[in-house]
């Protein structure tokens, strides 16, 4: 079932009719999803260095052309704790590695561990960057509208859309509750046990506050005919050009090819 | 087929559709706080999933878990969103599915009783404890026996013994709190359900942690994985053992929390969900009297 776009666009406000502009940002969201899926599969299924390196290069070039390198850098920084953990654990503790770089008492970092760690990190970055590029270049509303046009039900669209909006609001509310409890004398910066004692007075209002909203939202949705049968009209539909479609099919075919080659053992 | 369709449709009423994003937000916000800020070796990121599972059913629970991890991993911007969590959507789905089954069995129903039922529950706990003690005595009688029964190596003997004790201690403490502070027998079943969920979750997530991340996920559990690998375990063994310590404790605590959340919500609110009636149970005469005396 496809959902009909509105027949007439004139008279609609500008924020509804405005098309996303710019390189890669104007590409159809489903096409970007297909490309990201291809990149993730390539990063994990092509063995050794070529897979992750090729994916990283492709993502970085696209991000630079779409002026989204800064966003990618933030995500790269956010991943640094896990990158540190991966490197340290593999450097010192890779089982079976016996080619030490240097001996430091009980510690013996190995070359095998270092390469294995670096490769895991490259895979992780390739995989995260490929997916991050989709949301850095796509409005969530556009992505959901495009998926709705392709038959994703309105319930699924609502759940995903509402969840994405609700997370920052819940965090804001949690911060307000922290302030309110501090004003009542709760210690949030003391020792571990003092902080741990504050978990219940912080978490309980967040959880119960969010749950009490469910009732009101249900009534509001039902009042707007949420569960009514029949088609919906989408106000805003991202364009799907011939080039978008061609790119999407190419990505899907390449993905199938990589999986096929991997199963057939052609990567060696 | 038609029956299956109706069973699925029954779980996705508008109320459940509205609860799901709320549950997903609770999962993500609490999970991110515990894992990234407090760095504890537990997760606490499935409170929402288990809540939906118990109130709405297995399919709704599984879908909530899957969507929560995918959204957390891939749709939220950097400081909150971490792509490391994404691949564990399979585990989250299994957790929601199990929670739905527990909910349909009525395991999360409060069973506030008089002395007789608390006595009965205490006897049941003593019996379970005796069984656990018997298992402990059999499996850990000597290192040889341990190897025979579990298939692990002799070197795991001590550590595994400490694990078993740690998980049992958490179980006993949670049950004790529920029985003596809240006088609620139902919590025993809910925490038991959490224990089973945790063991299944550990078995499901170990291969994911090993394959995708080389066992490292950037949270407090990394220290445990590092300790096991230093002990000479393979990657898969190390992540499985880390999971078998963290997951049962985490899911027992989570189930305990969900049990009290459901108990603290108004009965009218809970009863309107597809499985709501199984989560509140029948009123005893005494309770009806008490509710009438104290509104709200």
Residue B105 pLDDT > 80: yes
Q: Which residues of A touch B47 (CB under 8 A)?
A: 207
Beta partners for residue A104, in sequence order: A107
* Buried/exposed B19-56: b ≥16 CB within 10 Å, e otherwise: bbbbbbbbbbbbbbbbbbeeebbbbbbbbbbbbbbbbb
Inter-residue contact B23 to B95 (CB < 8 Å)? no
Taking CA–CA distances from A106, the nearest residue in chain B reads B230
- Tell me the C-alpha distance between B183 and B286, whole Å: 15
B15 is a domain residue: yes
Nearest to A147 by CA among A250, A28, A26, A241: A28
Nearest to A34 by CA among A264, A250, A235, A220: A250
- Tell me the C-alpha distance between B72 and A164, whole Å: 9
Residue A123 three-state SS: helix
- Tell me the C-alpha distance between B140 and B167, whole Å: 15
- Tell me the C-alpha distance between B88 and B73, whole Å: 9
Instruction: Choose the closest CB to B21 out of A162, A174, A208.
Output: A162
Label residue B296 by pLDDT band (50, 70, 90). very low
CB–CB contact A89 B216 (8 Å)? yes
Instruction: Choose the closest CB to A217 out of B18, B213, B214.
Output: B18
B 83-142 near A (Cβ less than 8 A)? 83-84, 86
Residue B151 pLDDT > 70: no
Inter-residue contact B225 to A89 (CB < 8 Å)? yes
Q: Which residues of A touch B78 (CB under 8 A)?
A: 71, 74-75, 77-78, 132
Q: How crowded is residue A211: how many other Cβ atoms within 10 Å of its Cβ?
A: 20
Inter-residue contact B217 to B42 (CB < 8 Å)? no
- Tell me the C-alpha distance between A100 and A96, whole Å: 11
- Tell me the C-alpha distance between B205 and B90, whole Å: 8
pLDDT of residue A105: 73
- DSSP string for residues in A209-251: HHHHHHHHHHHHHHHTTTT--S----S------HHHHHHHHHH
Q: Which of B6-10, B13-17, B226-230 has the highest mean pLDDT?
A: B13-17
CB–CB contact B15 A218 (8 Å)? yes
pLDDT of residue B235: 64
- Tell me the C-alpha distance between B269 and B257, whole Å: 18
Lookup: tokens for B144:
């040889």
Determine which helix (DSSP H) or strand (DSSP E) holds A109, and give its type and residue range: none
> What tens digit of pLDDT does each residue of B189-210 get?
888 888 889 888 888 887 777 7
- Tell me the C-alpha distance between B150 and A215, whole Å: 49
pLDDT of residue A250: 96
B249 to chain A, closest Cα gap in Å: 17
Q: What is the rounded average pLDDT for all residues in chain B?
A: 76
Taking CA–CA distances from B272, the nearest residue in chain A reads A215
Q: Which residues of A touch B229 (CB under 8 A)?
A: 89, 93, 95
> What tens digit of pLDDT does each residue of B206-261 get?
777 777 666 555 555 666 666 666 666 666 666 677 777 778 888 888 898 898 88
B292 is a domain residue: no
- Tell me the C-alpha distance between A98 and A112, whole Å: 8
Counting as low any pLDDT under 70, the low residues of chain A are 1-10, 95, 188-190, 192, 195-196, 268
Helix axes B186-213, B89-105, angle to 10 degrees: 160
Inter-residue contact A161 to A152 (CB < 8 Å)? no
Instruction: Map tokens 């909910």 to a residue.
Output: B103
Residue A100 three-state SS: strand
Interface probe with A: pick from B73, B75, B153, most Cβ of A within 10 Å: B75
Q: How many domains does chain B have?
A: 1
- Tell me the C-alpha distance between B204 and B181, whole Å: 34
Nearest to B251 by CA among B207, B295, B195: B195
State whether the Cα torsion B106-B110-B114-B119 is positive or negative: positive
Inter-residue contact B231 to B158 (CB < 8 Å)? no
Q: Which residues of B touch A159 (CB under 8 A)?
A: 17, 20-21, 24, 67
A96 to chain B, closest Cα gap in Å: 9
B94 is a domain residue: yes
Number of Cβ pairs < 8 A linking chain A and chain B: 145
- How would you class A247 by CB atoms within 10 Å of its CB: exposed for 0-12, middle for 13-18, buried for 19 or more? middle
Residue A148 three-state SS: helix
Residue B290 pLDDT > 60: no
pLDDT of residue B267: 87
Nearest to B175 by CA among B160, B193, B201: B193
Give 3-state DSSP helix, strand, coil % of chain A, rounded to 5. Answer: 70, 0, 30
Q: Does B258 touch chain A (CB under 8 A)?
A: no
B192 is a domain residue: yes
> What tens digit of pLDDT does each residue of B164-186 get?
677 777 777 777 777 777 677 77
Could you list the residue range(s) of the whole structural domain that residue B187 is in? 2-281
B284 to chain A, closest Cα gap in Å: 26
pLDDT of residue B158: 64
- DSSP string for residues in chain B: -HHHHHHHHHH--HHHHHHHHHHHHHHHHHHHIIIIII--S-----HHHHHHHHHH-HHHHHHHHHHHHHHHHHTS-TTT--GGGGGGHHHHHHHHHHHHHHHHHTTT---B--HHHHHHHHHHHHHHHHHHHHHHHHHTSSHHHHHHHH---GGGHHHHHHHHHHHHHHHHHHHHHHHHHS-BTHHHHHHHHHHHHHHHHHHHHHHHHHHHHTT--SSTTHHHHHHHHHTT--HHHHHHHHHHHHHHHHHHHHHHHHHHHHHHS-HHHHHTSTTHHHHH-PPPHHHHHHHHHS--
Q: Considering chain B, what percentage of its residues have pLDDT values greater than 90?
A: 17
Residue A90 three-state SS: helix
Label residue B3 by pLDDT band (50, 70, 90). confident
Which region among A15-19, A130-134, B80-84, B282-286 has the lowest average model confidence (pLDDT)? B282-286
Lookup: tokens for A37:
């899926």
Lookup: tokens for B52:
């939906």
- Tell me the C-alpha distance between B94 and B61, whole Å: 9
Label residue B58 by pLDDT band (50, 70, 90). very high
Taking CA–CA distances from A118, the nearest residue in chain B reads B214
B102 is a domain residue: yes
- Tell me the C-alpha distance between A249 and B24, whole Å: 33
Residue B294 or A10, more confident? A10
């Amino acid at each position: 079932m496809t959902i009909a776009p509105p027949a007439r666009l004139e008279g609609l406000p500008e924020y509804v009719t405005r098309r996303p502009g710019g390189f890669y940002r104007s590409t159809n969201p489903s096409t970007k999803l297909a490309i990201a899926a291809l990149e993730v599969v390539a990063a994990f299924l092509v063995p050794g260095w070529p897979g992750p390196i090729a994916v990283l290069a492709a993502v970085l070039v696209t991000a630079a052309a779409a002026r989204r390198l800064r966003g990618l850098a933030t995500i790269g920084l956010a991943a640094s704790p896990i990158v540190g953990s991966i490197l340290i654990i593999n450097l010192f503790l890779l089982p079976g590695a016996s080619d030490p770089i240097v001996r430091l008492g009980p510690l013996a970092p190995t070359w095998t561990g270092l390469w294995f760690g670096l490769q895991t990190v490259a895979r992780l970055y390739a995989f995260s960057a490929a997916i991050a590029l989709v949301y850095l270049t796509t409005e969530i509303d556009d992505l959901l509208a495009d998926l709705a046009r392709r038959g994703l039900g309105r319930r699924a669209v609502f759940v995903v859309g509402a969840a994405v909006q609700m997370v920052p609001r819940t965090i804001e509310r949690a911060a307000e509750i922290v302030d309110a409890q501090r004003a009542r004398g709760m210690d949030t910066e003391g020792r571990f046990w003092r902080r741990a004692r504050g978990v219940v007075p912080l978490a309980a209002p967040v959880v119960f506050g969010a749950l009490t909203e469910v009732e009101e939202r249900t009534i509001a949705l039902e009042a707007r005919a949420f569960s009514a049968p029949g088609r919906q009209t989408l106000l805003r539909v991202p364009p799907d050009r011939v080039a978008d479609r061609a790119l999407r099919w190419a990505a899907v075919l390449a993905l199938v090819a990589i999986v096929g080659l991997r199963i057939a053992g052609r990567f060696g | 087929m038609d029956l299956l369709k109706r069973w699925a449709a029954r779980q996705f009423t508008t109320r459940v559709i509205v609860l799901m994003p709320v549950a997903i937000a609770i999962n993500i916000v609490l999970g991110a706080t515990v894992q990234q800020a407090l760095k504890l070796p537990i997760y606490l990121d499935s409170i929402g999933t288990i809540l939906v599972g118990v109130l709405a059913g297995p399919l709704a629970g599984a879908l909530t878990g899957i969507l929560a991890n995918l959204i957390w991993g891939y749709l939220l911007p950097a400081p909150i969103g971490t792509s490391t969590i994404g691949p564990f959507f399979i585990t989250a789905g299994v957790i929601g599915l199990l929670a739905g089954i527990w909910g349909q069995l009525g395991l999360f129903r409060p069973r506030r009783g008089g002395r007789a039922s608390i006595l009965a529950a205490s006897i049941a706990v003593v019996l379970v404890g005796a069984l656990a003690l018997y298992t402990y005595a059999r499996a850990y009688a000597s290192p040889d026996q341990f190897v025979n029964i579990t298939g692990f190596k002799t070197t795991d003997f001590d550590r595994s013994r400490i694990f078993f004790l740690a998980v049992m201690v958490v179980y006993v403490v949670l049950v004790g709190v529920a029985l003596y502070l809240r006088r609620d027998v139902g919590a025993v079943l809910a925490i038991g359900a959490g224990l089973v969920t945790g063991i299944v979750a550990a078995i499901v997530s170990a291969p994911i942690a090993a394959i995708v991340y080389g066992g490292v996920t950037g949270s407090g559990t990394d220290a445990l994985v590092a300790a096991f690998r230093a002990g000479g375990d393979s990657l898969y063994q190390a992540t499985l053992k880390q999971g078998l310590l963290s997951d049962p404790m985490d899911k027992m605590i989570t189930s305990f929390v969900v049990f009290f959340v459901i108990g603290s919500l108004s009965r009218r609110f809970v009863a309107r969900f597809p499985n709501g009636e199984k989560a509140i149970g029948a009123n005893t005469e005494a309770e009806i009297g008490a509710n009438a005396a104290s509104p709200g």
